[in-house]
Amino acid sequence: MSIAIYPGSFDPVTLGHLNIIKRASACFDKLIVCVMVNSKKHGMFTPEERVELLRQSTARFPNVEVDFSNEVLAAYARRRRAHLRAVSDFEQEVQMAVINRKLNPRLETMFLASSEKYTYLSSTIVKEMARYGADLEDFVPREIVEAVNQRMRELEGTEAKEG
């Protein structure tokens, strides 16, 4: 059985992420979409909330499992018996691919580019658009549009109280 991992912060999951998930799930027997901790990023959603949003967004893909890990990816992949890692951000990920291969020689990295209509899209851009009240329908899975908008309203309410 071929098992691949698509790691990321997914804060929030975008249509670009979903495009990679759809295409990678067609390539492997099982795709684990794993919410990972990025110490450099302060999340809009908790890891548990991101897992739930991903589950809602990927429910139509029967061979996709959503998980969370705060382990080093190489250790997580070894524990889950996964040998392929699907990623979409080439520039940042080349260095991580080399490090992960050093830590877990059985872990291969496969780079998948999202469809050209999503190449500009990132979670950071989605959060900025949500901050300005833009319509998010073309940027995040429809299942989570309201959750993103609601969280942004909550965050703006907190900032207003603090300011």
Residues 34, 111, 5: CA angle, nearest 5 degrees:
20
Looking at the chain, list the stretches that DSSP marks H as alpha helix, in order from N- to C-terminal side: 15-27, 47-58, 73-80, 90-103, 123-131, 145-162
41 is catalytic: yes
> Would residue 85 show up in a list of annotated catalytic residues for this protein?
yes
The torsion of the CA quartet 39, 134, 114, 107, rounded to 10 degrees, works out to 20
Q: Output the CA angle 113-44-26, nearest 5 degrees.
A: 30
Sheet holding 64-69, edge to edge: 64-69, 30-36, 3-8, 84-87, 108-111
Catalytic choice (57, 88, 123, 151): 123
Q: Catalytic site residue 123?
A: yes
**Which of these is catalytic: 9, 17, 69, 151?**
17
Among 41, 79, 117, 142, the active-site one is: 41
Catalytic choice (25, 57, 85, 114): 85
Angle, helix 145-162 to helix 123-131, in steps of 10 degrees: 60
Active site residue 39: no
Residues forming the active site = 17, 41, 85, 123
